[in-house]
Amino acid sequence: MSKTTMTRRGVLKTGAVAGAGVALPTIFTASSAAAYTNEPTGSSVTLGFNVPQTGPYADEGNDELLAQQLAVEHLNGEGDGGCLNTFTSKALKGNGILGKKVEFVTGDTQTKSDAARASAKSMIEKDGAIMINGGSSSGVAIAVQGLCQEAGVIFMAGLTHSNDTTGKDRKANGFRHFFNAYMSAAALAPILEKELGADRRAYHLTADYTWGWSQQESIAAATEAMGWETVNNVLTPLASTDFSSYIAPVLNSGADVLVLNHYGGNMVNSLTNAIQFGMMEKVVNNKDFKIVVPLYSELMAAGAGENIKGVFGSMNYNWQLQNEGSKQFVKSFGEKYGKPPSNSAQTCYAQTLLYADACERAGTFNPCGVAEALEGFEFDGLGNGKTMYRADDHQCFKDVLVVKGAENPTNQYDTLEIVEVTPAEQVTYAPNHPMFGGDEASLGTCNAG
Amino acid sequence: MLGLNKKDMTLLIAVAVLTMFAPFFLNPFPTDSAMAQFNAGYPDLMQRFVIFGIFAIGFNILFGLTGYLSFGHAAFLGVGSYAAVWIFKLFTYNVVPAILLAVIVAAVFSVLMGYVSLRRSGIYFSILTLAFAQMMFALAYSVLSNPKFNLTNGETGLQVYPNDPQMFHPEGMQDFPHLFGLYMNSTYTMNVGPWAFDFNTGYYLCAVVMLAVFYLAIRIFRSPFGMMLRAIKSNQTRLNYTGLNPRPYTLAAFVISGAYAGLAGGLMAAMDPLAGAERMQWTASGEVVLMTILGGTGTLIGPVLGAGFIKYFENIFSKINDAVLHQWFAFLPDGLEDFVVFIIHPFVGKGWHLTLGILFMLVVIFLPGGLVEGGQRIGKWIKNRGKSEDSDAGPKTEPAE
Amino acid sequence: MDAILLQILNGLDKGSAYALIALGLTLIFGTLGVVNFAHGALFMIGAFCAVTLQRFLSLSYQTVSETEKDFLGNPLKVETPYVESWFGPEIGASIIDWSTPLAILLAIPIMMLVGLIMERGLIKHFYKREHADQILVTFGLAIVLQEIVKYYFGANPIQTPAPDALSGVANLGAWFGLELAYPVWRIVYFCFAALVIFGVFAFLQFTTFGMVVRAGMADRETVGLLGINIDRRFTIMFAIAAAVAGLAGVMYAPINPPNYHMGMDFLVLSFVVVVVGGMGSLPGAVLAGFMLGILESFASTTWATTTIPGINQIIIYLVAIIVLLTRPRGLMGRKGVMEE
């Protein structure tokens, strides 16, 4: 088939149809006018903060938004400067980015891929956003990351824990500061072995979608490697509200550990149900029954209340960390909003600064330049300790926290206690790891629009 | 002309003018002004207006004419999108085969679902359609996206990967849906003074398609077939007594509206090559029901208005945050500014649902015929005002109805 | 055997919530002929009655502690609930502990009031309107109610524990020599639901008021012609239906922590339950509620999900389709109700 003629004829035909309304003389693309998508020309630069503002994760999204606003303040030299004081890169001066004042637009992802893309598109097409930051689910992150790749802007993923985000769905324009399921498993396994022993029988309840599978696979692999047996893995519908019919069979299965591969409302309900069935008081195989929630968040801990006592899990960051960056960030955030930041808030804050810093170091807003500046970048002072953005898959490598529901919390915020700070080396994996798309996975090429 | 009477022709022309010049109408405010927040003339939202307009027009052919309230129409939109993205993945980025297949697949699904569901009427029919759609959603979200048989890619949504076969995708072409070389995302921005107007290829494709299917809808409404459907709505029993079997007619209406939904789904995938499972959820089916009722059930233009109304709120009001509010009211004294922002705050940004809910109630309470009735009332009011100015205090002869 | 019994208990428990919500929904369908999409929101408001009472009872005054520090290193403000200082720490603590059951007392008047306001202020004007308009207005109302709750309580779920005495696990099987431990509160919930259902049926069956309402459901016009003010009775029925949904919500709060969108989660399911039960049939709604609850529980066992993958996701809808295709008006539906 000769495609050139097809194309030409197609153009003529379309021209005839379109001619009825408006003449479309030639094809213009947005990119033909500027060097790259949404090149900032005025005295300001616009960042897009795309977080869930309605639906079950609205509070999570709100926390992210607060952190991002704080970051914008600090970038513009307002407030106490926050982590600009502790950040190891000194490129940022508190005068905006590359001398341009930072402004932001916000959007609502509704935790739905479609809505998130619509909202990101409106920021890019209408408001001229040069980067998109935030989000609270892996599905959304991957969907928006794909969009940003097509549109030619930088995407900084918010809370996304699935291996796929920087695994088989990795994109040259997308970056992830948050940790992932593999890292959770790698950090948790040694602690679980130490605290619970090496001959445990685990029962998995897994949310039936991509992230759930990804996490279950990671945890099962890591725990089986140290000698645990996986008794069963039951997939639960995302829409479930009552988990009693999944919890009840656990008791008679001979398992002595329950792993809840759930997030958000699912996790709050499944854990509540598990406690209702008296699991934490059970003794099975002469061992105390234990529950593990591989991915924790402060809001889930708050939602689960007393039920999380003694339940193990992992986190990307916790405000109780005592390094300089963390102390500075908690102080800024706490004084402004009257509560400590959540770990997704920290991620969104750090990413905003990291993006700005990369622009400064690259001397341009061009996404390809920014991406290059971020790749392989090593830094400290943003709260997580020493961190590195790996060039191969745009995943941050840093310490992972293993946490436990506090037995005696003294206030409503220290419901989780840090058990161990697992060093970055221990959670590092090869970029072509089979759980991350293997050799086939590639970033593709950077798109500047 | 075109087999339409004068009134319908006027309507069609009005809709044509509105859609063709939408980039102007929807961007009334200069780009840098504070009111630019209310501009809706950017490609993505314009496309959405038109696509959901198509979806709602089709839904109205079933619901407005026959009175059968389907709560599962989003499923057809969903399968349409999946079909289109599969074409992109396997064969080519050209949108024509993708959209055609989307329509065909949706029509096939609607034949199956319609044939079974139409055995019942009233709320029993609604729940049957709901059940089918929810099953399809649940399967698409999880079971059909397992690694061994990944048909839908689940939560993330089906998208095109670089290693997909794309057999007829020529080298050197951009990786984006196109119509024989016209890329759907190509946009020409016209700057007129402080204003900027976006002319987007994808939007115009959608708009032309919408005009065509809108014309088709008018023809259906005015045809003997449309009459038949209305008869089913007004009294099905009587129709049975006259010896007519209404089932084939309702099934035809069901399939037509399913095909419209598939068309909308295919266009959606063509504008943005990703198909998410949430498109099939009951909330999405409920949304098109709301659009139709809100705009005016059984009217030609109502569903389009309803679709525009809801999408506008979803995309514009959700983006108004406190910073924007402060910017708007910066001219007020500080205390007053904070107070005004405090009052408006719950209704915008993350509170856009609240505004939408309140507006639903207000519209249905005060405008029983939906937005269309609002338009008619304004029209009548203007007409009457003109009259009273012409002939001083002429007696009102029009009846209240 | 134990496993089967356990799943039956789970099913009865899920079914209790479905049945209670569906019962109220059917009362409104059957008496007023109104499609009430705000019924889920009423369930949610009920649950938040429990949350509100818990919050209200835990209202505290602050004293600054000299020894402890808060997260920013400032002196910690220690909160002491007023009830503890009024009634002494022990009685005070146990009042807070029992806040959820106490919330029933709060929920009944509040829910009836909400129901009355809804019916008189809004629904009343929609009796003669099309079902489509009813859907739009009640859906709008549901969104508004939900957003108001979100505005005050946030989107995160809020733990509302059962009283300590009722939150353990009861070994039901001890009497039969079976290993059958089940949470006490879930048993309480089932018993409570049974009581409410029984109460509603007894009220309709054995009181003059109920007799008139039943007559009105069957033939509204004739009852009206007999000179009975059927409208007022229907208003009261709406209030009762709201209270039933609210009570279902209050008692549900300890089972799964309430959040603002829990009503929407139950809304679609409860419509399915009502229709499977058959329009206009109260026993049908209850029966369908328990039936779907039990089937859902069995569909989520490993045995079921390995036999047919994903059966747990679709079971309710699948059953609905099968029932509606084999029985045109659901399990026990009456002819001519909402069939147009």
**Residue range C212-238, pLDDT digits in tens:** 888 887 777 788 788 888 888 888 999
Q: Which CATH number characterizes residue C185's domain?
A: 1.10.3470
**Nearest to residue C196, comparing CAs of C246, C254, C146, C162?**
C246
The beta-strand segments (E) located in A52-162 are 101-108, 131-134, 154-157
Asked if B223 has any chain C CB less than 8 Å from its own CB, the reply is no
Confidence of residue A12 (pLDDT cuts 50, 70, 90): very low
Q: What letters, b where the CB count within 10 A reaches 16 and e where it falls short, cover A7-36? A: beebbeebeeebeebeebeeebebbeeeeb
Q: What percent of chain A has pLDDT over 70?
A: 92
- Relative to beta strand A287-288, strand A283-284 is antiparallel
Q: What is the mean pLDDT of chain B?
A: 89
Do C285 and C271 touch, CB atoms closer than 8 A?
Answer: no
Read off the tokens for C205.
């069956």
* Torsions phi, psi for A433 (to 5 deg): -55, 140
pTM over 0.95: no
Per-residue model confidence as pLDDT tens digits over C4-60: 888 999 999 999 999 999 999 998 887 788 889 999 999 999 999 999 998 888 888
Using a CB-CB cut-off of 8 Å, the residues of chain C touching B361 are: 122, 137, 140-141, 144
Q: Where in chain A is the domain with CATH 3.40.50.2300?
A: 44-179+319-398, 182-315
- Does the beta-carbon distance from C159 to A236 stay under 8 Å? no
Say if residues A260 and A202 touch (Cβ distance below 8 Å): no
Q: How far apart are CA B150 and CA B277, in angstroms?
A: 13
Beta strands in A194-296 (DSSP E): 201-207, 229-236, 257-261, 283-284, 287-288, 290-295
Do C257 and A303 make contact, defined as CB atoms within 8 angstroms?
yes
When divided into structural domains, chain C yields a total of: 1
Helix or strand or coil: residue C2? helix
Model confidence at B388, pLDDT cuts 50, 70, 90, reads low
Contact assessment for residue A222 and residue A314, using Cβ atoms and an 8 Å cutoff: no
Distance from CA of C114 to the nearest CA of B (A): 17
Q: Render pLDDT for A335-369 as a digit per residue (tens, 0 to 9).
A: 999 999 999 999 999 999 999 999 999 999 999 99
Would an 8 Å CB–CB cutoff place A249 in contact with chain C? yes
For chain C, how are helix, strand and coil distributed in percent, rounded to 5? 70, 5, 20
The strand ranges marked E within C206-334 are: none
For residue C339, is it within any domain?
no
In this structure, are residues A198 and A224 in contact, taking their beta carbons and an 8 Å threshold? no
The CA radius of gyration of chain C, in Å to the nearest whole number, is 22
Tell me the percentage of chain A whose pLDDT exceeds 90.
63
Chains with 3+ CB–CB pairs under 8 A to C are: A, B
Spatial separation of the C-alpha atoms in residues A98 and A185, rounded to whole Å: 40
A182-315 homologous superfamily? Response regulator (3.40.50.2300)
* Interface with C, mutate which of B288, B361, B367 (most C CBs under 10 A): B361
Work out the end-to-end distance of chain A between its first and last CA atoms, rounded to an integer number of angstroms.
30
| Tens digit of each residue's pLDDT (9 = 90 or more) over A258-275 | 999 999 889 999 999 999
For residue A200, the one-letter residue type is R
Residue A33, pLDDT > 60, answer: no
pLDDT, position A6: 37
Q: From the CB of residue A291, how many other CB atoms can be counted at a distance below 10 Å?
A: 22
Of C7, C76, C168, the CB nearest to A245: C7
Pairing assessment for the beta strands A174-176 and A131-134 based on DSSP bridges: unpaired
Helix (H) / strand (E) containing C113: helix C99-121
- pLDDT score of B122 more than 90: no
Query: A with B: how many residue pairs have Cβ under 8 Å apart?
Result: 172
**Residues with Cβ within 8 Å of residue B382, at least 6 apart in sequence:** none
Distance CA B111, CA B105 (A): 10
Q: Which two tokens stand for residue C203?
A: 């009220």
B58 pLDDT higher than 90: yes
Query: Cβ C3–A252 below 8 Å, yes or no?
Result: yes
A252 touches chain C (CB under 8 A): yes
For B228-242, how does the pLDDT look when each residue is reduced to its tens digit (9 = 90+)?
Answer: 999 988 888 788 888
Inside any domain, residue C6: yes
**Do the chains contact at A209 and B42, CB–CB below 8 Å?**
no
Architecture, CATH, for domain A44-179+319-398: 3-Layer(aba) Sandwich (3.40)
- Per-residue pLDDT of A38-61, as tens digits, reads 888 889 999 999 999 988 899 999
The Cα–Cα gap between B76 and A143 comes to 21
Find the DSSP H helices in A100-230.
Answer: 113-125, 138-151, 181-196, 210-225
CA atoms lying within 13 Å on the CB side of residue B143: 15
| Residue A10: pLDDT band with limits 50, 70, 90 | very low
pLDDT digits (tens, 9 = 90+) for B200-212: 999 999 999 999 9
Dihedral, CA of residue B199, residue B200, residue B201 and residue B205, to nearest 10: -90
pLDDT for A23 equals 34
Q: What is the pLDDT of residues C110-119, one digit of tens each?
A: 999 999 999 9
| Predicted confidence band of residue A34 (pLDDT cuts 50, 70, 90) | low
* Rounded Cα distance, A176 and A390, in Å: 10
Distance in angstroms between the alpha carbons of the first and the last residue of chain C: 46
In a domain, C289, yes or no: yes
Which positions 280-319 of C are in contact with B (Cβ < 8 Å)?
A: 309-310, 313-314, 316-318
What's the whole-number average pLDDT of chain C? Answer: 88
Q: Quick check: C71 pLDDT over 80?
A: no
Largest alpha-carbon pair distance within chain B?
78
Does residue C340 have a pLDDT over 90?
no
Confidence of residue A403 (pLDDT cuts 50, 70, 90): very high
- Joined together, the tokens standing for residue B133 give 């759609």
Q: What is the pLDDT of residue B249?
A: 93
**pLDDT band of A22, cuts 50, 70, 90:** very low
Residue C302's domain comprises 2-57+100-326
CA A165/CA B75 separation, integer angstroms: 27
Within 10 angstroms of residue A391's Cβ, the number of other Cβ atoms is 15
In a domain, C187, yes or no: yes
Residue A340 contacts C where some CB pair is shorter than 8 Å? yes
Q: Are C281 and C331 in contact (CB under 8 A)?
A: yes
B385 Cα to chain C: minimum distance (Å): 30
Highest-pLDDT range among B303-317, B321-335, C217-231: B303-317
Question: What's the average model confidence in pLDDT over C118-134?
Answer: 88
- Does some domain include residue C62? no
Q: Place A141 in a pLDDT band, splitting at 50, 70 and 90.
A: very high
Task: Quote the pLDDT of residue B308.
Answer: 94
The pLDDT value recorded for residue B398 is 42
A33-42, B12-21, C112-121, C153-162, range with the lowest pLDDT: A33-42
Give a three-class secondary structure readout of chain B: CCCCCHHHHHHHHHHHHHHHCHHHHCCCCCCCCHHHHHCCCCHHHHHHHHHHHHHHHHHHHHHHHHCCCCCCCHHHHHHHHHHHHHHHHHCCCEHHHHHHHHHHHHHHHHHHHHHHHCCCCHHHHHHHHHHHHHHHHHHHHCHHHCCCCCCCCCCCCEECCCCCCCCCCCCCCCCCCEECCEECCCEEEEEECCEEEEEEHHHHHHHHHHHHHHHHHHHHHHCHHHHHHHHHHHCHHHHHHCCCCCHHHHHHHHHHHHHHHHHHHHHHHHHCCEECHHHHCHHHHHHHHHHHHHHCCCCCCHHHHHHHHHHHHHHHHHHCCHHHHHHHHHHCCHHHHHHHHHHHHHHCHHHHHHHHHHHHHHHHHHCCCCHHHHHHHHHHHHHHHHHHHHCCCCCCCCCCC
- Give mean pLDDT, residues C62-73: 74
> What radius of gyration, in Å, describes the C-alpha atoms of chain A?
23
Q: Would you say C315 and C299 are in contact if contact means Cβ atoms under 8 Å apart?
A: yes
Beta bridge partners of A49: A106, A133
Write out the H or E segment, with its range, that includes residue A299: helix A298-304
Q: Is A254 on the interface with C (CB under 8 A)?
A: no
Rg (CA), chain B: 23
Compute the distance between CA of residue A33 and CA of residue C113 in angstroms, rounded to an integer: 62
Nearest of B308, B367, B64 to residue C137 by alpha carbon: B367
C318's CB contacts (< 8 A; 6+ apart) are B131, B135, C311
Q: What is the pLDDT of residue A191?
A: 93
